[in-house]
Amino acid sequence: MKSKDEEKYKILYLSFNQDRSCLALGLEIGFAIYSVNPMKKLFLRGKYTYIIINIDFGCGIGRIEMLKTTNILALVGGGNNPKFSPNKIIIWDESKCQIIGELRFNTNVLNVKIKMDRIVGVCQKRIYIFNINTLAIVDMFDTYENNHGIISISDGDLISVIAFPYDEKGIVKLVNFNSLAQPPIISAHESNIACLSINYNGTLLATASDKGTLIRVFNISNGKLIIELRRGSKNAEIHNIVFDKHNKFVGCTGDSGTIHIFSIISAMKNLDENYYSNELEEESKNKKSIFNKILNKINSAYLNSEWSFAKFRISEHNCNMSFLKNHTICVFTLDGKYYLASFDPKKIGECEKLKESYIF
């Protein structure tokens, strides 16, 4: 049986801000913001926090997103006793302790993203994009049935690229807001999309299906597969995929309780903007031996994919991670734990646990 404190600080959702310097927690009693490194509570907004101005935040926040390191937050109600209706996005100014905007939808909001120029609301079958200053709708996109609100957005100051499930299972649509020439639609997997992640500058897309055995990394400009990463041979649910800021490593978390870290350094070194469009390369690729063609048909993913070189095992099965400096990672779990670990980029093996503590 859970104690009152455990229930009070039950974490419903956690997310990093754009540069991953802060962590936002949606709680059963409100929300909290932490700095990541070092881990430090910046503020907690819960029951009676605003008693002086008669605002009670003692109810659930199911989704929370920070706008960089500003005081502006996007909130969606959730949990057993939602603070706000689940079909609304609330724009909250922490410095003023007040709501400064509200977006209402016909169905529940499954995800929300906020940037310096736009706010994105994700519902089951449609994505809505709003101007952050006027809250006027500027774009909308139909999606494949998106029960988990899956979407990814480049982490730069402005939205440059978004990715979301589209049209039918396994298909990903990319939208580039900075170019008239749109990226191609990507047939990423044969089964439903479970996780998407765009790197910081909007050049790479990582995808995983609901099988959870493979992560595929694509070149966003032309939709070509760059590298295939194998998490394992048994099915699993992948919760998060993360690029490090320098596009050298990819990490993923899932319900297996193991964080996998992959190196994509070699793949990135081999990546040339003209490589895939070069006719000679295409011709060479089409002249594979009969033996290799047979192998590809039998089990190309298993034989050609890159396995993780570092793993970090924890007892919790629902978490989010981020890369820090000097080959370290931080991991935050929905059970309220915080881990710090390091890995050797040149050596296959287990991560070294540097720290383990409770968030609250």
* Number of folded domains that form the chain: 2
Neighbouring C-beta atoms of residue 2, cutoff 10 Å: 8
Q: pLDDT class for 270, splitting at 50, 70, 90?
A: confident
Q: What is the pLDDT of residue 110?
A: 98
Do the domain assignments include residue 173?
no
178: pLDDT confidence band, cut at 50, 70 and 90?
A: confident
pLDDT tens column, 199-245: 998 999 999 999 999 999 999 999 999 999 999 889 999 999 999 99
CATH number, residue 226: 2.130.10.10
Q: Which residues contact 254 (CB under 8 A, 6 or more apart)?
A: 212, 231, 236, 237, 238, 239, 317
pLDDT on residue 304: 61
What HEC string does 229-255 produce? EECCCCCCCEEEEEECCCCCEEEEEEC
Across-strand partners of 58?
Answer: none
**Longest Cα pair distance anywhere in the chain, in angstroms?**
76
Query: 188 and 107 in one domain?
Result: no
Can you give the residue range of the structural domain that contains 111? 7-142
What pLDDT band is residue 27 in, cutting at 50, 70 and 90? very high
Q: Give the residue, 288 or 109, on which the prediction is more confident.
A: 109
User: Which pLDDT tens digit goes with each residue over 114-145?
Assistant: 999 999 999 999 999 999 999 999 999 999 98
pTM of the model: 0.87
Note whether residue 171 is domain-resident: no
Within a domain: 167:
no
253 token code pair: 């978390």
Q: Are residues 12 and 102 in the same domain?
A: yes
Task: Tell me: do 55 and 192 sit in the same domain.
Answer: no
Please give the structure tokens belonging to residue 121. Answer: 């609301």
Across 46-60, 112-126, 243-257, least confident range? 46-60
Tell whether the model's pLDDT for residue 272 goes beyond 80. no
Confidence at residue 106, expressed as pLDDT on a 0 to 100 scale: 96
Instruction: Assess whether 99 and 233 both reside in one domain.
Output: no
Evaluate if residue 289 carries a pLDDT over 60: no
User: In terms of domains, do 190 and 315 share one?
Assistant: yes
pLDDT of residue 28: 94
- Residue 97 sits in the same domain as residue 190: no
